[in-house]
Structure 1
Amino acid sequence: MRYKLIFIGFLGLLFISCKKKKVPEPEVPQTLQHGMLVLNEGLFQQNNSTLGWLNFSDNSYTSNFFEQKTDRSLGDTGNDLDVYGGKIYIIVNVSSTIEILDRYTGNSIHQISMIANGTPKQPRSIVFSGSKAYITCYDGFVDVLDTTSLSITARIPVGANPEGLAVSNGKLFVANSGGLNFPNVDSTLSVIDLGSNQEITRITVGKNPGSVQKDANGEIYVISRGDYAGIPSRMHRVNPNTNTLVQSFNFDAGGIYPFNNQFLISYHDFASGENEIALFDPNSESLINPQYISTAGIQTLYGIHYSSITHKIYCMDAKNYTVTGQIHVYSSSGIFETTYNVGLNPSKILIYD
């Protein structure tokens, strides 16, 4: 009887161990097509940012895409993801690195260490013009990256803790957030002449500026996020020819995202937890529809992406910031289609046809 009980106990342990066995991740494709890369920020100082791959053919998700391609982790707090020419650029803020991957395979090309005199630069956002990439760094500079040699060729001093940026009329417009000095934040937009790599002026746009976008006519739009309490988050329009603030809009706005020749305007109310997605027309300078997409089912709106490849709108949901995030997919007319479970705090995606 004793040996029978031991045998049964062994089978029980075997069953439990089998139940706990981790399901292997799907293998990443050799060539990237018919899917999307998802940048998940992870949690601050937890070193758990990920770059995942969602396969549209079977809706499978490979959370460790970057690890499978590089045999190392992505790092701490992935902030931006973009593609230019034949390369993918990933901005990893707390790790102070830029990861550069092959556009077609996802294989690693180069990693750039963003350290200046032993101090982390903390890169935030990236934009491109000609053969150069421009990266905002939280140490108060915009770095100029040569996209051929993959080397930093210049550092341009701007305001405190710069974030979003956009190029128009031969100039770079940079939002100086001053976020690390909260509540004593910055309120300016630096204007840099791209011919000389020199800041030529600063435009006051409102407290804590973050997102910056350019419309089809070259006009610059910037969000000033206020103090998340008494000072509301607002959108402003800047004339890139005269370098002046020409209009401020009296509606809540937390992010600006290109949508054909219009903008999708996002807003997350930190007090109530409510989310809004509006449709804005730069030609008429007005909201066409203040509730273009129903946000039912979205807990924490963390980013929006419109793809001209799939003609769909992708809304990133950070949930409560500590659990698996989701991407909710809508038609171009704002009709809900499906939801994908992805990684922790998804914020940016790249679509492949």
Structure 2
Amino acid sequence: MISKYGLLSVALAAAMLLPVSCRKEETIVPPTRTEVTDPGEAGEIAGFFLLNEGNMGSNKATLDYFDYETGVYTKNIYAERNPGVVKELGDVGNDIQIHGDKLYAVINCSHFVEVMDVRTARHITQISIPNCRYIAFKGRYAYVSSYAGPVQIDPNARLGCIAKVDTVTMQVVGECTVGYQPEEMVIAGNKLYVANSGGYRVPDYDRTVSVVDLDTFREIRKIDVAINLHRMELDDNGMIWVSSRGDYYGNHSATYVIDSRTDQVIERLELLPNGNMTLCDGRLYVYSTEWNYQTQSNTVTYATVDVDTRRILTRNFITDGTDKEIRVPFGLAVNPVTHEIFVTDAKDYVTPGTLYCFNPDGTKKWSVETGDAPAHIVFTKRRLQPVP
């Protein structure tokens, strides 16, 4: 475990290197606006933000916004609203969440969390955290998973950590060492769970979920699950759904269920490969793009699961054949009010992707062009204010 000052020193060093890796001076691409057909009624959900990862090393993470009231989808809003931020959003947007009146974007390879006003998408500050991955919240604190080392494959890569951020002062106030290359997190009661992947140590993957007591901010146990863990969701029954990516050879992707009351794995859904998932009203929506190096191909599925019975309801929640148009599903979200299903297509990762909106019955409603590698969606109840 490194001390608070150790983490801050690493972050500072990483931040000092950022100008070296930022994109060369170029013309800022202005936002483009597209009016979609049949946007639906503006209700409790005013719109959503979509964070485009951008191909690693290209320094092209961008932010899009969809407005339910106008039906307008706007690409690349950050540059227009923050002309003074020279490097814009940076390299690889890995997560986006809303907490209070602020919008948080985790920028992995630029080693910071970008904090914006959720009503204007204007820059407030950046929090330096090395190789940051995902963010979760409880009370006044944000918790950010961090690989805590360079962005590189290394069989001797160090243990990762969780950085604790005070959302009032915007300072890192603590850190907790966990497993290797920690990914997504959920918080159940006073315990934080994080999926450890060990992805930098391939083929010696980690296979644990770390459990962190938030009172002491110490890891209290590790739960043995499966290799190369990634995604996590917490359902209303206190069950934690965890995805294993496998090793892309003979060990296939699968989905596991942990009971947060006992911290025990209670089920393995071997027939539910899992690349990404989201929960909505008792249903787990899952897509999988399971790559196999032996066949040099992806096996793509779109499933829904009843979380109470853990029974697979369908193997394809896209019912009208539109799934054949999607080359690389890369993002997934469900509107908690309308139950519209959103799936993004990264295509080749270096050119604009596509966002698909489906009705609850799985039929296509509309689609629109996004930024490069569209990946992460967060719904907002506050409508984004127009640019003055």
Please report the TM-score for the alignment, with normalisation by the length of structure 2.
0.79
Hey, what's the Cα distance between the residues in 1 that align with 2:229 and 2:237? Answer: 22
1:99 Cα deviation after fit: 0.6
Q: Post-superposition shift, 1:56? A: 4.6
Q: Conserved in 2, the CA contact under 8 Å of 1:169 and 1:241?
A: no
Unaligned stretches of 5+ in structure 2?
1-26, 34-44, 149-159, 382-388
Task: Label 1:22 to 1:257 Cα distance change in 2 as closer, same or farther (>3 A).
Answer: closer
Unaligned runs of 5+ in 1: 1-20, 28-32, 115-120
Kept after mapping to 1: 8 A contact 2:331/2:377: no
- The 5 Å alignment of 1:26-175 reads 26=32, 34-56=46-68, 60-71=72-83, 72=85, 73-114=88-129, 121-139=130-148, 140-175=160-195
Match of 1:331, as an amino acid? N
Whether the 8 Å CA contact 1:273–1:299 is kept in 2: the answer is: no
> Which of 326, 337, 348 in structure 1 is aligned with 2:365?
337
**How many angstroms does 1:106 deviate by?**
1.2
The farther-off stretch of 70-79 and 288-297 is 288-297
Q: How far apart in 2 are the matches of 1:74 and 1:153?
A: 24
* 1:1-353 map, 5 Å: 25-26=31-32, 34-56=46-68, 60-71=72-83, 72=85, 73-114=88-129, 121-139=130-148, 140-251=160-271, 252-270=273-291, 271-294=296-319, 295-352=323-380
Residues 24 and 84 (structure 1 numbering): CA distance in 2 closer, same or farther, change over 3 Å? closer
The answer to whether the 8 Å contact 1:264/1:277 transfers is yes
Cα distance between partner residues in 2 of 1:193 and 1:255: 26
Contact kept? 2:192, 2:211, Cα under 8 Å: yes
Deviations 1:14-42 (A, max 9, x none): xxxxxxx9995358xxxxx9543220000
Cα distance in 2 between the residues matched to 1:311 and 1:113:
36
CA shift digits 1:79-125 (9 cap, x unpaired):
000101111000000000111111111111211122xxxxxx21000
**What is the aligned residue count?**
323
Instruction: Give the deviation of 1:168 after TM superposition.
Output: 0.9
Q: Distance in 1 between matches of 2:184 and 2:29?
A: 39
How far residue 283 of structure 1 moved from its aligned partner, in angstroms, is 0.6
Distance of 1:347 and 1:223 partners within structure 2: 17
Per chain length, whose mean CA-contact separation is higher, i.e. which structure has more relative contact order (CA < 8 Å, sep 6+)?
Answer: 2
1:215 and 1:262 in contact (8 A); partners too? no
Tell me the C-alpha RMSD between the 2 structures.
2.1
Q: Where do 4+ consecutive residues of structure 1 move more than 6 Å?
A: none
Task: Note the alpha carbon deviations across 1:222-249, whole angstroms, 9 max, x for none.
Answer: 1111111210001111111221112111
CA contact (8 A) 2:208 2:229 kept: yes
- Name the aligned partner's letter for residue 257 of structure 1: T
Q: Is the 8 A contact 2:341 2:360 kept in 1?
A: yes
Contact 1:304–1:314, Cα closer than 8 Å, also in 2: yes
Residue in structure 1 matched with residue 5 of structure 2 by the alignment: none
- Deviation of the 1:347 alpha carbon: 0.5
Letter in 2 for 1:46: S
